[in-house]
Structure 1
């Protein structure tokens, strides 16, 4: 009890203060506050005397962020902000890294890396690093370049298929659901990703297929520098993110332009005009910082891409493809057939559809080979009596 006023004395003092309030109304507010403070102090003292304050403190939620409790948050945020205002990269080294990963798009890679370098060097940024459009036929490396760019820059990578967001209801998947709606107990895929990795590269595949409502939400994210999470209304910053829209719209026209125009700025302007004529939303086009036009794969580049995808396919089944001089892990007949079919239908599914057709023929054999203990295989190709190519698998090791 030492150092603490007994409850009876506090009650008497509170009574005196209330009497003073009645006699002197001008002092009312001050005296009422004093009374409340004294009563609260008495109650806390009594709770502490009976050992109730420690359990109560454990049950109370943390009022402040842990940063506020243990460090100078403002100073830390200033240091982080200063480090994030600009980022200098070696465009030539970045381009070299990307060319080793993405086949047949050397000019696009050069243009992309120079643009990214300029955008990252900006010291004041309240909007995304950039909003870019990768345009061209399917299967030419648009998504792959996005993935490899994120990896080379050390950024997180988000992939969102906009063909699944053709209705307004798809907004909940990306931005979260308002309170009271199904799914409101968790964040949207986009907002959660940017919350956890603010510097992500966000790839929006086939953006032209998104609903107008979802497009408007993205325009807000790009113009205002944040996106609002539906479940709790939190504003998630987009100022450190890179947004890449991919589109197959006007792919034939853009392929022709990419072959005809060598100047990057002229090609971007012509491609943007082609997208506008094809019905791409003008309000989105006006917000895109740069359009990059991908060229159709031709010649041996088709075979190179086919090899990359076939090797990944086989690895997905837990096996490896024989490689090295004299190994011939993939029959040349298979690759030549892929080249011919790509030339016949360059603007459909690209090399990916060709590899999927190969997978349908060999998937069961790959499963059996792995079950039999195989580690390394060779893919073969032979012609049927009707002239169709039949893919097969041989065990090598």
Structure 2
């Protein structure tokens, strides 16, 4: 530095204000040099004046001077230069700011120098401001650089391939504070910070901590999204408004970018050098409060072999109170990093930031909706804001308020604006003039412009029946959220002409630029509850629209929907449908799962199948979480559900159940064959069934409130089989004088007594309902066989193979011997052997002719045959006569057949 060289020549240990002034005159570039040249002041004249006023000690020379420091007057001048730069809104301190600081400081030596040079202080200030104004005007006229890199390469004094430290020094001077921090106080002064609501308690506690004598470093601890950074911004707003103690009114809040400080520090000592310089600068200024967001990153940041991390570099200054710091972190990271380092944690005062209440969150959301409305140019109605809060709590349990609700509001505004412009684009496409319009200047058609368009069409002489705006008809309605009419019928040619003729009219058209100039008071559309529901539905994958009449009908017909794939078991379907209806109509207890059921019955009767059908009906096929409890028959198996304990391998991976449900909270969870699980594993179900939540090994809570819990068991199978005769609808008829419902309840009571001998009573009492599954009769087995065969036919059709199954083949399958106690599972094995294998063998044989439709049947000799059917003629189109090949015997069973059931229909998909 030139000022340092001049101070060494005088053999003094400090850089004075006159040395800074001398360096400004010596520079060949900058506003300060231009001002001095304009006033006739050159370096030779300044040196002569300073030499007359300076006495150099004889006993010292410049070689004996060590580290140079700034004098009190020099520090005051530099602080004034920073103030001047802030007043002008400049991001860096230039020579003109330093010149104004030098002449503004109350320095006796500078007064003497100015008087001896014969210049006036007011003249210097006025001329400096004139040069700054001219420089700004010239900069505005120059073309802007596309990228920051081009701007750096533009100027020769910044090396294109220099070290990052050199480039930082050129851009920011010698101030790491400007290079690695952001001034939140300046943002507050510029109005770039939004007003902080409902955090006065946390802000007051943080300010009290900052005013303490010792440990003046608060650390804000809270979950992601609860508003920790907003508390810091609230402190900055309090400093700006002056609502703090006198010793804090001149403080400035600077937020550290630890990532930027670490970036580029490739060699040992670079990071430590940057952080040390930053600490020294903060200590010298004595009015900086440093904010470290994600403060756990300082533990280990920059540490390498033989190097210290950021935390150890900060500890001494924090302990001596030389710097003040506000740290921000999460409870998990605080426990992981700070509590393990007692020397670091004791230097901070913890302040916990909790989730706001519903009332406070609603107030925050109303303010956010106003800000988002100005940005998106939309209006938010109160119902949409209230629904955003409701859905955020209900459907996003893994995130925290108010952040998750704010995200919903923001995206709903974006969605409403996009939907609006899509409707406008559809209006242009309908008119047929899209190709002739200049898309670079296309704007928005509002309700006023649409009505004006109808008026113009009507006044042009067209029939009023054709052009009147639609009124209260089923096909012609106005979308209240956008002001656009749907379903109207007008002359497209006339409409196109009017659009083209009035394309530049201010009355009927508003361009994007004009829309921006109008301001925030002209929203183009409204955000309603449907937009909020669509956003949440896209995030969670479930429909969230209001219960329309079609959905009400679907809830009424849920039994029929389930019976499309579930054969029999009317009682199970009825009880499950009731539970789903309670959930859909919001009547169920919101703190428990949608429903919890224990399915008891013999194997192979459809307990797992009804769980799959319910999953497909409510969600998607992928939302079925099935746990085979035979794999959890050891006490330590509970770690597979909740995750491994700390210190064990796989602790960070979480549990099999908890992680799956965290990703898909809307699922059907099936615990298959629950009686095979260990008792310690069953204890996990107590919390799930009662509170609708579960805490895993990582202390994270998983919600089961939107899940259906199904447990299957074979307990009581013998009782059910003995009591079932297939006469009544429920299949239980112990006493001929009692109705089916009474007999069902008697058997259910006996099964529950047997369940209590196996499970704890507190588990049985928490289950919503125990449902008994009776054995399948022959009619039900036939329907199941048809469904299984349809699956095979559908798979063949997907591969271009047309196959139908004759009812004789269905009867043939049912007559084959099988284990009657296995339910439908032996039937599936028989179909695989006789249908799937038969088709696969035939398709690779030379008898197969592609393009023909085949029918598989059984002839009078009990032989399985494949018959090719001749293609049908299309109406009015003659085709060549094709003689189908004879029937091919593909299978001849020697098994003893059961009596046929007469149903002459054909299975054809």
Question: Which of residues 792, 798, 803 is equivalent to 1:322?
Answer: 803
- Give the drift of 1:54: 7.9
When normalised by structure 1's length, the TM-score is: 0.70
**What does 1:59-208 align with in structure 2 at a 5 Å threshold?**
76-81=388-393, 91-118=555-582, 120=584, 121-122=586-587, 124-154=589-619, 156-208=623-675
**What does 1:1-397 align with in structure 2 at a 5 Å threshold?**
3=82, 30-33=212-215, 52=261, 76-81=388-393, 91-118=555-582, 120=584, 121-122=586-587, 124-154=589-619, 156-230=623-697, 232-255=698-721, 256=723, 258-260=730-732, 267=744, 270-277=747-754, 279-283=757-761, 284-312=763-791, 322-323=803-804, 328=806, 331-337=809-815, 341=818, 345-347=819-821, 349-360=822-833, 381=864, 384-385=893-894, 387=896
- Give the drift of 1:367: 5.0
1:108 aligns to what SS in structure 2? Answer: helix
- The answer to whether the Cα contact below 8 Å between 2:731 and 2:740 also exists between their aligned partners in 1 is no
Tell which deviates more after alignment, 154-163 or 372-381: 372-381
Tell which deviates more after alignment, 140-149 or 262-271: 262-271
- Give the drift of 1:236: 0.5
Assess, with a 3 A threshold, how the Cα gap between structure 1 residues 305 and 79 changes in structure 2: closer, same or farther.
closer
2:824 aligns to what SS in structure 1? Answer: helix
Tell which deviates more after alignment, 296-305 or 122-131: 122-131
- Give the drift of 1:195: 0.9
Aligned equivalents of 1:220, 1:387: Cα separation in 2: 54
- Give the drift of 1:212: 0.7
Assess, with a 3 A threshold, how the Cα gap between structure 1 residues 215 and 59 changes in structure 2: closer, same or farther.
closer
Assess, with a 3 A threshold, how the Cα gap between structure 1 residues 265 and 171 changes in structure 2: closer, same or farther.
farther
- Give the drift of 1:346: 3.4
- The answer to whether the Cα contact below 8 Å between 2:792 and 2:836 also exists between their aligned partners in 1 is no
Q: How many residues align?
A: 353
- Give the drift of 1:35: 9.3
Greater C-alpha Rg: 2
Assess, with a 3 A threshold, how the Cα gap between structure 1 residues 364 and 384 changes in structure 2: closer, same or farther.
closer
Aligned equivalents of 2:613, 2:705: Cα separation in 1: 21
- Give the drift of 1:286: 2.1
1:240 aligns to what SS in structure 2? Answer: coil
- Give the drift of 1:133: 1.3
Superimposed CA distance per residue, residues 326-367 of structure 1 (whole angstroms, 9 cap, x where no aligned partner)? x528813443225x63xxx433x2121232244356666655
- The answer to whether the Cα contact below 8 Å between 2:628 and 2:672 also exists between their aligned partners in 1 is yes
Aligned equivalents of 1:386, 1:145: Cα separation in 2: 33
- Give the drift of 1:217: 0.8
Assess, with a 3 A threshold, how the Cα gap between structure 1 residues 108 and 150 changes in structure 2: closer, same or farther.
same
Aligned equivalents of 1:110, 1:161: Cα separation in 2: 26
Assess, with a 3 A threshold, how the Cα gap between structure 1 residues 205 and 31 changes in structure 2: closer, same or farther.
same
**Gaps in structure 2 of 5+ consecutive residues:** 1-77, 84-173, 176-209, 220-247, 266-291, 298-327, 331-354, 357-363, 370-384, 397-543, 725-729, 734-738, 858-863, 865-890, 899-907
Aligned equivalents of 1:304, 1:35: Cα separation in 2: 74
